[in-house]
Amino acid sequence: MNSLKSLSNKDAKLVMAHMYVAFIALFVGATCGLLQTLERSGKFTLPAGIGYYQILTVHGVVLGLVLTTFFILGFMLAAQSKTTGGFNKTERTISWIGFWMMLVGTLSAATMILLNEATVLFTFYAPLQAHVLFYIGLALVIVGTWFDGFVMFKRHARFKKENPGERTPLLSFMAVVTMLMWQIASIGVAITVVFQMIPWALGWVETIDVLLSRTLFWYFGHPLVYFWLLPAYMMWYAIMPKIIGGKIFSDSLARFTFILLLFFSIPVGFHHQLTEPGIDPFWKFLQVILTMIVVIPSMMTAFSMFATFESRGRELGAKGLFGWLKKMPWKDARFLAPFIGMLFFIPGGAGGIINASNQMNQVVHNTIWVTGHFHLTVATTVMLTFFGITYWLVPSITGRKYTKTMNKLAIAQTIFWTVGMTIMSTAMHWQGLLGGPRRSAYSEYAGNADTAAWGSYQIAQAVGGSILFIGMIIMIIIFINLAFFAPKGQEEFPIAVVSNQAEKTPKVFENWPLWIGITIALVLFAYTIPLIDIIQSAPPGAKGYKLW
């Protein structure tokens, strides 16, 4: 152990390897994002025959799948190493194998996209057909993540064995729930990629069952968004209180929230397929109800955050309903960035509830409203929280200092991100309500009058996208500084303790067979009959198309 670092050298190296990939992905993906908004404004054409849909695929895959996955795994490994006492040699080796599989898979998929052999967007919907190496790359990434998940389960179990009767660390518990949800959900996408897409791309079978593959994708696709959100919740529940000088409001409430998210994140994929034919409306209705239930743990999180802020504010002498706002450390970017992320989750979450409401979904589905929704949720709530994590995590494990200059830069980065995203995402929501499509390059639809109203919104998106690009460059500068150039020193890995007013955490939270059993029962309940139906009543399969 290096005395300046908060993790052992070997664990720190493992975590940083994940972080390097994540921040390279941020640079590549966000640069494509800028190009997209410029092209969609109608005032700029991509040079050298580069296709809009090609860079849209790079943007979605690299940010939505690569940046998030590497950052999340790196962060959760760090949190677990810190709170459980570090990994042993076997655990580290398994994690490194997973890391290399994910990296090789990423490079394989990225190469195919750059060669214009896989312009199928991040949802890679059939019947658009990519090169087989794209699908093999994705399969490697998924299997690689399972290795890391296994390491987290193993380390958690080892902690329990080494510390009988002791409450397991909250962050380790949360990492286990997140990975359990991920392993159960990613089986769906693994099945469609390995058993449907790879044989089809190799020409072993001529056609693919499109509805089945989309259903398997969305069985995974919705929990995917919670795979992004849960690590942000880990920060909000267990780290944010320490940053503001307070305590965790309730350990039990935090664990219960995560268990509810495990139950209800998966059996809800049909809310992405509400307009899709071939699925019995009863099962769509049922999954919409389950979607409304998955909102509850997020409302519990909002309650818990208010309680945390207010308790700390009152300790510092705050009065009135919102007096606590004045007592928060606004000049500390480790607080400011995630806090703004929370604030954006209020409209982001409300937008999600609109999307999930069957009738309103008919209005917004496949419009750029949905793009606005996920730029509020994943690109703001989650990303600003991840940036906030970076400010302390990277220096604390590289043995460097988070200097005042970097903090000032981080505040500027938060402001750029907030302003850019407000402009871009508001314009996306409005244009969506006017019928502006998503997943579409600039088009005037042969001069159709409806499109005239879209112009100013598309320009606004380009303005927002340009401001965000500056924010991304600032973030990369901060990351490079914290990883390589900041002065040597010791930086805190902030982990909060539980308030002494909180109730004792019941032992039942560690009853994993019970939680896994309920999760699987809910999945079987929501999916068995519709899946049988989809397979039995399958229309003729589709051959592959390359429309780019």
Beta strands, E only, 33-84: none
Measured distance CA(373)–CA(392) in Å, rounded: 28
Please give the distance of CA 541 from its chain centroid, rounded to a whole number.
Answer: 32
At position 7, the amino acid (one-letter code) is L
The site that binds ligand HAS (CB under 6 A) totals a number of residues, namely 32
Q: Identify which of 495, 289, 468, 525 has the alpha carbon closest to the alpha carbon of residue 393.
A: 495
Residue placing its CB nearer to ligand HAS in the complex, 136 or 240: 240
Active site residue 222: yes
Report the nearest approach of ligand HAS to the CB of residue 527 (Å): 17
Both tokens of 169, joined, read: 């660390």
Report the nearest approach of ligand HAS to the CB of residue 221 (Å): 6
10 is a contact residue toward ligand HAS (CB under 6 A): no
Q: Which one of the spans 17-25, 132-140, 373-381, 402-410 is the region binding ligand HAS (CB under 6 A)? A: 373-381
355 is a contact residue toward ligand HAS (CB under 6 A): yes
Q: Which one of the spans 143-151, 369-377, 414-422, 525-533 is the region binding ligand HAS (CB under 6 A)? A: 369-377
Whether the CB-CB separation of 53 and 117 falls below 8 Å is answered with no
Report the nearest approach of ligand HAS to the CB of residue 26 (Å): 16
| Cis bond upstream, residue 494 (ω within 30) | no
Measured distance CA(539)–CA(212) in Å, rounded: 10
- CA distances (Å), 326 to each of 318, 340, 385, in order? 8, 15, 21
154 is a contact residue toward ligand HAS (CB under 6 A): no
Residue of 295, 433, 459, 495 that binds ligand HAS (CB under 6 A): 295
- Catalytic entry in 220, 226, 227, 344: 226
- Catalytic entry in 222, 271, 312, 429: 222
Q: Which residue has the tokens 């990939």?
A: 21
Active site residue 147: no
Residue 488 pairs in a beta bridge with 400
H helical segments located in 316-436: 333-356, 358-364, 368-376, 383-398, 404-433
Residue placing its CB nearer to ligand HAS in the complex, 382 or 428: 382
Measured distance CA(290)–CA(267) in Å, rounded: 7
306 is a contact residue toward ligand HAS (CB under 6 A): yes
Q: Identify which of 99, 187, 102 has the alpha carbon closest to the alpha carbon of residue 141.
A: 102
Report the nearest approach of ligand HAS to the CB of residue 476 (Å): 22
Report the nearest approach of ligand HAS to the CB of residue 461 (Å): 17
HSE, CB side, 13 Å, CA atoms: give it for residue 271: 27
Q: Which one of the spans 74-82, 156-164, 366-374, 387-395 is the region binding ligand HAS (CB under 6 A)? A: 366-374
Active site residue 255: no
Residue 367 pairs in a beta bridge with 437
Both tokens of 59, joined, read: 């943007």
Active site residue 167: no
Q: Identify which of 178, 313, 305, 295 has the alpha carbon closest to the alpha carbon of residue 245.
A: 313
120 is a contact residue toward ligand HAS (CB under 6 A): no
Q: Which residue is nearest to ligand HAS (CB)?
A: 349
257 is a contact residue toward ligand HAS (CB under 6 A): no
Neighbours of 316 (CB within 10 A): 14
Q: Site mask, ligand HAS, residues 396-415, x = CB under 6 A?
A: --------------------
Measured distance CA(487)–CA(501) in Å, rounded: 40
Report the nearest approach of ligand HAS to the CB of residue 287 (Å): 9
Residue placing its CB nearer to ligand HAS in the complex, 144 or 231: 231
- CA distances (Å), 375 to each of 278, 305, 358, 481, in order? 30, 22, 22, 27
Please give the distance of CA 377 from its chain centroid, rounded to a whole number.
Answer: 9
Both tokens of 486, joined, read: 């900041």
SS3 of residue 545 by DSSP? strand
H helical segments located in 434-511: 455-480
Please give the distance of CA 514 from its chain centroid, rounded to a whole number.
Answer: 26
Residue of 231, 246, 269, 352 that binds ligand HAS (CB under 6 A): 352
Residue of 302, 316, 419, 470 that binds ligand HAS (CB under 6 A): 302
Report the nearest approach of ligand HAS to the CB of residue 457 (Å): 19
- Within residues 203-232, the interface with ligand HAS by CB under 6 A covers 225, 228-229
DSSP per-residue codes, 133-150: HHHHHHHHHHHHHHHHHH
260 is a contact residue toward ligand HAS (CB under 6 A): no
Burial class (CB in 10 A: 0-12, 13-18, 19+), 458: buried
Active site residue 40: no
363 is a contact residue toward ligand HAS (CB under 6 A): no
Q: Which one of the spans 101-109, 244-252, 294-302, 482-490 is the region binding ligand HAS (CB under 6 A)? A: 294-302
Q: Which one of the spans 50-58, 109-117, 352-360, 464-472 is the region binding ligand HAS (CB under 6 A)? A: 352-360
Residue placing its CB nearer to ligand HAS in the complex, 61 or 103: 61
Residue placing its CB nearer to ligand HAS in the complex, 198 or 342: 342
298 is a contact residue toward ligand HAS (CB under 6 A): yes
- Catalytic entry in 131, 334, 375, 429: 375
Residue of 291, 414, 431, 461 that binds ligand HAS (CB under 6 A): 291
Catalytic residue positions, numbered: 222, 226, 373-375, 438-439
Which residues contact ligand HAS (rule: CB under 6 A)?
A: 123, 225, 228-229, 271-272, 291, 294-295, 298-299, 301-302, 305-306, 342-343, 345-346, 349, 352-353, 355-356, 361, 365, 370, 373-374, 377-378, 382
